[in-house]
Amino acid sequence: MYDGDMDKGIRTPLEHVEEALVAADMAWWELEFPSGALRFSKNKTDMLGYEQKDFVHYTHFTTLIHRNDYDASMKAMTDHYQGNASIYEVTYRIKAHDGRYVTFHDKGRIVEKTEQGFVVAGIVQKISK
């Protein structure tokens, strides 16, 4: 049974999905390539203690990846972009606002091809508390 705030009114299915992702320590993301423009659910930055508004380009996240995990993370994405892997999938540590490292498992794929490039969409899950 739901114990949350019932006064929020009728909610959309997308709002239900967002709440389910939060409950599972997950977030969705979408990256446009080659521009690097990024869209993602607020929970992605909430899990790290940052403000969502501070992350508009994918490099705002990649610069926080632990140096020992960075190359493998970039290789996984490049392998997918180049058609060498059917999906992008990687586990890495990323620096939270408080300085500790949080482990994420990230999985996505190209969902749209455009005249300029392509769009990759995925899900990230926090796998450490």
The amino acid at 39: R
Confidence category of residue 91, pLDDT binned at 50, 70, 90: very high
Tell me: domain 6-126, CATH 3.30.450.20, correct?
A: yes
Give the span between the Cα atoms of 93 and 128, in whole angstroms. 9
The amino acid at 20: A
Question: What pLDDT score does 5 carry?
Answer: 53
Q: Say whether pLDDT at 112 is over 50.
A: yes
Backbone angles phi, psi at 101, to 5 degrees: -100, 135
How wide is the angle at C-alpha 128 spanned by C-alphas 50 and 79, nearest 5°? 80
Give the span between the Cα atoms of 108 and 44, in whole angstroms. 15
Q: Say whether pLDDT at 52 is over 80.
A: yes
Confidence category of residue 96, pLDDT binned at 50, 70, 90: very high
pTM, whole model, 2 decimals?
Answer: 0.85
Q: pLDDT tens, 14-32?
A: 788 889 888 999 999 999 9
Q: Which sequence spans correspond to the domains of the chain?
A: 6-126
Q: Say whether pLDDT at 2 is over 50.
A: no
Question: What is the full DSSP assignment across 84-106?
Answer: SSSSEEEEEEEE-TTS-EEEEEE
In this structure, what token pair is assigned to residue 18?
């967002």
